[in-house]
Amino acid sequence: MELQGKVAIVTGGASGIGLEMVRHLLQAGLKGVAILDMAEAVGKAAVSQMESEFGAKRAIFIRADVTKADQFKEAFKTASTTFGGLDIVINNAGIGNEDNWELIIAVNVAAVMRGTLLALEAMGRDRGGRGGAVLNVASILGLSAIAGAPAYVTSKHAVVGLVRSFGMPYHWERTGVRVMAICPGVTETPMLAGARGPQMSSMAQMAALEVAALPLQKPDAVARAAVEVLRRGENGSLWVSEGGQPAYQVAIPAREQMRV
């Protein structure tokens, strides 16, 4: 995909990995990026920051709760109307509070499914769109597991399964929209900082110990990887961004090959 002149939506785009994705997309020449987030003050500050770096009217903030279908759908309409279409959707919003596993599923699974469906509706050639790309943010814990975060692990495995299904030829041939996933490793984000707070539950303490030995990276590394995946990733592909190294593609073997 040639990124110059394209339009994107980034959920959870006001801070952390999402904000770095917005920055790198604008650096790559996008016409505009819509930042979807719940944090209004932070989101407006993010737009001001992007305007100071890249000029006016390149980024907008849309306050939207991705767990609310009407708000999410309206945000797509606003972004498309503002910038004259839509080419890229990055479903990045996510949480990791194991004490509220139902909200984890609502944000990390249901909202990613909804965001993917809205993207296909907005960009699909079968619906009058011009095609495009969906990049869903999973995790290395969508490809492996730890004992201390069963809900989070479940949610990210679900994102991987979603991408594998929507990434099959049937959907691409119908819509012209590539659906891919990026699986970040441990990354310095507000969510990670919150997971290390002083009032950690025993489950959170276990999870912290399990990931402590994994390499840590900055959000910038994931954003750089995301741009490369959008440029050259194939439909249905899964990519890992870990330890600040270049992203690499992974393939899940057929179930017959998993037999032990």
Active site residues: 152
Structure tokens at 77: 């309409």
Structure tokens at 69: 């279908």
Q: Supply the Cα-derived Rg of the chain in whole angstroms.
A: 17
Locate tokens 């119908």: which residue? 174
Structure tokens at 253: 């073997």
* Three-class secondary structure assignment of 27-92: HCCCCEEEEEECCHHHHHHHHHHHHHHHCCCCEEEEECCCCCHHHHHHHHHHHHHHHCCCCEEEEC
* CA–CA dist 6, 28 (Å, integer): 10
Residues in contact with 124: Cβ distance below 8 Å, sequence separation at least 6, in sequence order: 131, 174, 175, 176, 177
Nearest Cα neighbor of 231 from 25, 19, 12 is 25
Residues in contact with 70: Cβ distance below 8 Å, sequence separation at least 6, in sequence order: none
